[in-house]
Amino acid sequence: MFCMARWIFVPLCVAFGLGCASERKPPDLSFRLPQEFPYAQRISLPKREAQGEILSKWWESFGDPQLVRLVEEALKANPSVKEALARIEEAKALKAQGASEILPQIGIGASVQRQEANQAEGATAYSSSVESSLQLDLFGKAKKGLEALQEGILKEEENLNYVLSELASEVAITYVELCASQKKLLLLKERLQRCETQYRDLVFSRYRAGLTDHSDLEQAQREMALLRYEILQKEREIETRRASLCALLGRPPGSLEALEIPDEVPLPPLEVVMASPAEVIERRPDIRMAKREVLARVAYLEEAKRNRFPILKLLGSLALEALTLGDLIHYPSVTLRIGPSLDLDLFTGWGKAGQIRQQEAKLKQALAQYERAVLEALGEVQQILCSIQTHWGMIQETEKALEAAREILKLEEARYLSGLSDYEGVIKQRKNLYETQISLVDLKAQLALDFVDLYKALGGGCQEEDRDGRKEVP
């Protein structure tokens, strides 16, 4: 017996030593990063530090209660949030299932057997049994599997953060575009009203007085017809954006008909929120999600390596047997078995080696995806900062052009009244004024969208208390 125990104990010690020696160090996920983004020094707008309370609910900085209400409703009702929550539940269930491998397994059984041989009288045997087993995780295989499943839970919780961040930005983008469309519709209606007034009080009066020919009437009528056509197009665009907003809020189409749309584009305070590249990597949920995937792949690789080692179990069983049911209860024959069980695969072809190589390849993929996520995130912030500075400069120049366009239109109308030019010149300058107004609306909307993109790119929309992955939906 001592010899047999030695043949079992020695391989176990060797395998245990190999298992401890093969522990893989966590991969280095650090990057050499600058202290700030290169374009940050070229921003002419005021700057402020990206604090957690600013980023967590950045939509409140727009000062629009309606936008705040829409975003918070979407964060609760959008189907994507419900899907992300369900995926967290699934990941937790998988971990609970994996944890069952290291818990005792207990089963019971009962049977009745009738045996007869030739002409002899038959016999009935009654039996019941209780069996149990406990797998000893000597080499950490189950532990590594649970670590991988735990990283899977944290990854899904970061995915929820990512969904919430994306959803908040999508609602804000749609709302800003809706307000911009409403402002353009208002400008179109004002332009049409002015055209109708001039047609009635100026063009038609001059035509009746014989001061102009019929071509001025036709040009004025054509301008008004085109404006009515553009108004219909803009109203259709507004309804399309309303429907998109309904979908984001988890509502059926047409449920936002009573929504009062502001006729000005909402803008946050013109202060650029700044963060260092290291803070961006720490905050962004997509990068944290990629990091969780790397750590999960490390754990899966270690689990695959430990799959080569023996599996040691403690087995126990208690069997009761008797020829009658009464004897089974009161005077059974008892058999008790307790002892260890050792399973070791001596040859499996290339199966287990292939599993290890597969997990190594998946780890390389996860590392590459993490690196790509970091580089894309940093590049995104740099581009947004450049876009903010560009659009802010364009707004300032467009405002100057707008003042000039108003003065030119006044001069052209005065020239028409004095008979020095025809009505086509008025139409041309009025169109130029309108196009300049539209350009200013578009630029303000784009600046607002730049701020939305910046908040999202800095990891906005995630609560500070959710950094450990435990999310409570706002």
Task: Please give the pLDDT value at position 361.
Answer: 93
pLDDT at 384: 94
| Tokens, residue 429 | 């300058």
Range of the domain at 389: 40-101+153-309+351-466
Which residue pairs, CB below 8 angstroms and at least 24 apart, start in 217-226? 219/423, 219/424, 219/427, 220/195, 220/423, 220/427, 223/195, 223/427, 223/430, 224/192, 224/195, 224/196, 224/199
Cβ burial, residue 162 (10 Å; 0-12/13-18/19+) = buried
Adjacent-strand bridge partners of 106:
132
pLDDT at 211: 52
pLDDT digits (tens, 9 = 90+) for 74-121: 999 999 999 999 999 999 898 888 877 777 777 787 777 776 655 556
DSSP 179-233: HHHHHHHHHHHHHHHHHHHHIIIIIHHHHHTTSS-HHHHHHHHHHHHHHHHHHHH
Q: Integer distance in angstroms from the first to the last C-alpha of the chain?
A: 65
Neighbours of 206 (CB within 10 A): 18
126/110 Cα distance (integer angstroms): 8
Instruction: Round to whole Å and give the CA distance between 191 and 432.
Output: 12
Residue 293 in any domain: the answer is yes
77: which residues sit within 8 A by CB, 6+ positions away? 249, 250, 251
Q: Are 312 and 12 in contact (CB under 8 A)?
A: yes
This prediction's pTM = 0.81
287 close to 467: Cβ distance less than 8 angstroms: no
Q: What is the DSSP letter of 251?
A: -
Question: What is the helix (H) or strand (E) element at residue 114, kind and residue range?
Answer: strand 105-115
Say how many domains are in the chain: 1
- Rounded distance between C-alpha atoms, residue 80 and residue 78, angstroms: 5
- Domain assignment of residue 86, yes or no: yes
User: How many separate helices (H) and strands (E) can be counted in the chain?
Assistant: 12, 6
Return the CATH number at 404. 1.20.1600.10
Is 140 inside any structural domain? no
pLDDT at residue number 180:
95
Which segments in the chain show pLDDT lower than 50?
Answer: 1-5, 7-10, 12, 14-16, 18, 21, 465-474
Picking from 172, 102, 106, 177, the residue whose alpha carbon sits closest to that of residue 137 is: 102
DSSP characters over 280-323: HHHH-HHHHHHHHHHHHHHHHHHHHHHTTS-EEEEEEEEEEEES
Q: Is residue 186 part of a domain?
A: yes
What per-residue confidence (pLDDT) applies to 15?
Answer: 46
- pLDDT on residue 103: 72
